Amino acid sequence: MLMSTPRPCSPGDRGPESGIGGASGASGEDASAVSASGGRSRRLSFDGESGVVPLARDFARQALYAWGWLPSATADQRAAAEDVLLVVSELVTNACLHAEGPAELWIGSDGKVLRIEVSDRGAGDPAPRTPHRAGRPGGHGMFIVQRLCLDWGVVRTPGAPGKTVWAELGAPA
Protein backbone atom coordinates (compact mmCIF):
# COMPACT_ATOMS: atom_id res chain seq x y z
CA MET A 1 0.00 0.00 0.00
CA LEU A 2 1.49 3.33 -1.06
CA MET A 3 1.10 5.97 1.64
CA SER A 4 1.51 8.93 -0.67
CA THR A 5 -0.26 12.25 -0.32
CA PRO A 6 -2.23 13.20 -3.44
CA ARG A 7 -0.87 16.39 -4.98
CA PRO A 8 -2.39 18.86 -7.41
CA CYS A 9 0.84 18.84 -9.44
CA SER A 10 2.33 15.93 -11.31
CA PRO A 11 5.66 14.50 -10.05
CA GLY A 12 8.48 16.83 -10.96
CA ASP A 13 6.14 19.86 -11.15
CA ARG A 14 6.36 21.94 -8.03
CA GLY A 15 3.43 24.16 -9.00
CA PRO A 16 3.21 27.89 -9.65
CA GLU A 17 4.83 29.13 -6.43
CA SER A 18 7.93 27.01 -6.23
CA GLY A 19 10.52 28.25 -8.72
CA ILE A 20 13.23 26.22 -7.02
CA GLY A 21 14.15 23.90 -9.90
CA GLY A 22 15.73 20.51 -9.41
CA ALA A 23 17.56 17.67 -11.00
CA SER A 24 14.40 16.67 -12.82
CA GLY A 25 13.94 20.01 -14.55
CA ALA A 26 16.78 22.46 -14.08
CA SER A 27 20.09 22.97 -15.75
CA GLY A 28 23.32 24.30 -14.36
CA GLU A 29 25.94 22.94 -12.04
CA ASP A 30 25.94 25.55 -9.28
CA ALA A 31 26.64 24.06 -5.87
CA SER A 32 24.22 26.52 -4.30
CA ALA A 33 21.46 28.74 -5.67
CA VAL A 34 18.65 31.02 -4.52
CA SER A 35 15.64 31.55 -6.79
CA ALA A 36 13.69 34.77 -7.26
CA SER A 37 10.87 33.32 -5.11
CA GLY A 38 13.25 32.72 -2.19
CA GLY A 39 13.68 28.99 -2.72
CA ARG A 40 17.15 27.64 -2.06
CA SER A 41 18.86 24.68 -3.64
CA ARG A 42 22.15 22.82 -3.73
CA ARG A 43 23.45 20.26 -6.20
CA LEU A 44 26.17 17.64 -5.78
CA SER A 45 27.60 15.54 -8.61
CA PHE A 46 28.92 12.10 -7.69
CA ASP A 47 31.10 11.68 -10.80
CA GLY A 48 34.33 9.95 -9.81
CA GLU A 49 33.46 9.98 -6.10
CA SER A 50 33.72 7.10 -3.66
CA GLY A 51 32.06 6.88 -0.28
CA VAL A 52 28.98 8.55 -1.73
CA VAL A 53 26.56 7.86 1.14
CA PRO A 54 28.57 9.71 3.82
CA LEU A 55 29.44 12.36 1.22
CA ALA A 56 25.72 12.90 0.49
CA ARG A 57 24.85 13.01 4.19
CA ASP A 58 27.59 15.60 4.87
CA PHE A 59 26.44 17.67 1.88
CA ALA A 60 22.84 17.60 3.14
CA ARG A 61 23.95 18.47 6.67
CA GLN A 62 25.85 21.52 5.33
CA ALA A 63 22.70 22.65 3.49
CA LEU A 64 20.63 22.26 6.67
CA TYR A 65 23.12 24.43 8.58
CA ALA A 66 23.14 27.05 5.80
CA TRP A 67 19.32 27.15 5.73
CA GLY A 68 18.88 27.37 9.51
CA TRP A 69 17.52 23.87 10.16
CA LEU A 70 20.64 23.19 12.24
CA PRO A 71 21.60 23.74 14.96
CA SER A 72 18.15 22.81 16.19
CA ALA A 73 16.47 24.84 18.89
CA THR A 74 13.86 22.16 19.70
CA ALA A 75 13.54 18.39 19.70
CA ASP A 76 11.04 18.63 16.79
CA GLN A 77 13.51 20.64 14.70
CA ARG A 78 16.28 18.17 15.49
CA ALA A 79 14.01 15.26 14.51
CA ALA A 80 13.09 16.98 11.22
CA ALA A 81 16.78 17.48 10.35
CA GLU A 82 17.57 13.85 11.25
CA ASP A 83 14.69 12.70 9.02
CA VAL A 84 16.19 14.65 6.09
CA LEU A 85 19.61 13.06 6.64
CA LEU A 86 18.07 9.59 6.89
CA VAL A 87 16.06 10.03 3.68
CA VAL A 88 19.17 11.28 1.83
CA SER A 89 21.07 8.21 3.07
CA GLU A 90 18.30 5.83 2.02
CA LEU A 91 17.84 7.29 -1.48
CA VAL A 92 21.58 7.35 -2.21
CA THR A 93 22.02 3.84 -0.79
CA ASN A 94 19.19 2.58 -3.01
CA ALA A 95 20.90 4.11 -6.05
CA CYS A 96 24.14 2.34 -5.05
CA LEU A 97 22.48 -1.04 -4.51
CA HIS A 98 19.89 -1.11 -7.28
CA ALA A 99 20.70 1.49 -9.95
CA GLU A 100 24.39 1.51 -10.96
CA GLY A 101 25.13 4.25 -8.41
CA PRO A 102 23.90 7.82 -8.00
CA ALA A 103 24.81 10.49 -10.53
CA GLU A 104 23.61 13.57 -8.65
CA LEU A 105 21.96 14.76 -5.44
CA TRP A 106 19.80 17.89 -5.49
CA ILE A 107 18.26 19.43 -2.37
CA GLY A 108 15.90 22.37 -2.46
CA SER A 109 13.63 24.18 -0.05
CA ASP A 110 11.00 26.85 -0.44
CA GLY A 111 10.74 27.33 3.34
CA LYS A 112 7.71 25.05 3.66
CA VAL A 113 8.85 21.86 1.95
CA LEU A 114 12.31 20.39 1.48
CA ARG A 115 12.73 18.28 -1.66
CA ILE A 116 15.47 15.71 -2.16
CA GLU A 117 16.25 14.30 -5.61
CA VAL A 118 18.71 11.54 -6.41
CA SER A 119 19.40 10.92 -10.10
CA ASP A 120 20.87 7.63 -11.29
CA ARG A 121 21.38 5.63 -14.47
CA GLY A 122 19.34 2.61 -13.43
CA ALA A 123 16.29 1.20 -15.16
CA GLY A 124 14.36 -0.20 -12.18
CA ASP A 125 11.65 1.49 -10.16
CA PRO A 126 12.02 1.75 -6.40
CA ALA A 127 9.13 0.49 -4.30
CA PRO A 128 8.60 -0.47 -0.68
CA ARG A 129 8.74 -4.23 -0.26
CA THR A 130 5.37 -5.77 0.37
CA PRO A 131 4.63 -7.20 2.70
CA HIS A 132 7.03 -5.22 4.86
CA ARG A 133 8.78 -7.56 7.30
CA ALA A 134 10.18 -5.40 10.08
CA GLY A 135 12.11 -8.25 11.70
CA ARG A 136 14.16 -9.11 8.61
CA PRO A 137 17.38 -7.37 7.62
CA GLY A 138 17.39 -5.29 4.46
CA GLY A 139 14.61 -4.03 2.27
CA HIS A 140 13.49 -1.20 4.55
CA GLY A 141 14.81 1.82 2.61
CA MET A 142 11.75 2.84 0.61
CA PHE A 143 9.44 1.89 3.48
CA ILE A 144 11.37 4.39 5.64
CA VAL A 145 11.18 7.03 2.90
CA GLN A 146 7.45 6.43 2.51
CA ARG A 147 6.84 6.78 6.26
CA LEU A 148 8.96 9.91 6.80
CA CYS A 149 8.00 11.92 3.72
CA LEU A 150 4.98 13.91 2.68
CA ASP A 151 5.29 12.36 -0.77
CA TRP A 152 7.82 10.66 -3.03
CA GLY A 153 8.04 9.43 -6.57
CA VAL A 154 10.08 8.79 -9.70
CA VAL A 155 10.63 11.03 -12.73
CA ARG A 156 12.02 9.74 -16.02
CA THR A 157 13.16 11.82 -18.97
CA PRO A 158 11.93 10.26 -22.23
CA GLY A 159 14.81 8.95 -24.31
CA ALA A 160 17.35 9.39 -21.51
CA PRO A 161 18.79 6.60 -19.36
CA GLY A 162 18.07 6.49 -15.65
CA LYS A 163 15.64 8.30 -13.44
CA THR A 164 15.30 10.78 -10.59
CA VAL A 165 13.83 9.55 -7.32
CA TRP A 166 12.42 12.46 -5.30
CA ALA A 167 11.06 12.82 -1.79
CA GLU A 168 9.52 15.76 0.04
CA LEU A 169 9.54 16.52 3.75
CA GLY A 170 7.84 19.31 5.64
CA ALA A 171 9.98 22.08 7.10
CA PRO A 172 10.23 22.14 10.90
CA ALA A 173 7.88 24.47 12.75
**Residue 35: what are its φ and ψ, rounded to 5°?**
-85, 170
User: Which is nearest to 80 in space by CA: 96, 56, 64, 99?
Assistant: 64
pLDDT of residue 35: 58
Cα distance between residue 138 and residue 153, in whole Å: 21
pLDDT for 11-42, tens place per residue? 344 333 333 344 433 333 345 665 555 689 99
- Residue 59 is assigned to a structural domain of this protein: yes
The answer for residues whose C-beta is within 8 angstroms of residue 89's C-beta and 6 or more apart is 53, 56, 57
- Residue 12 is assigned to a structural domain of this protein: no
- Residue 7 is assigned to a structural domain of this protein: no
- Residue 64 is assigned to a structural domain of this protein: yes
What residue numbers bound the domain in which 50 lies? 40-170
**Poorest-confidence range of 48-52, 126-130, 140-144?**
126-130
Is the Cα dihedral 141, 67, 30, 159 positive or negative?
A: positive
Question: Counting beta carbons within 10 angstroms of the beta carbon of residue 141, is it exposed (0 to 12), middle (13 to 18) or buried (19 or more)?
Answer: buried
- Residue 33 is assigned to a structural domain of this protein: no
- Residue 152 is assigned to a structural domain of this protein: yes
Provide the number of structural domains found in the chain.
1
Cα distance between residue 99 and residue 173, in whole Å: 35
Residue 163 above 80 pLDDT? Answer: yes
- Residue 1 is assigned to a structural domain of this protein: no
- Residue 121 is assigned to a structural domain of this protein: yes
Cα distance between residue 110 and residue 35, in whole Å: 9
pLDDT for 49-58, tens place per residue? 999 999 999 9
Whichever domain contains 118, its CATH number is: 3.30.565.10
**Poorest-confidence range of 23-27, 49-53, 76-80, 129-133?**
23-27
Percent of the chain with pLDDT over 70: 72
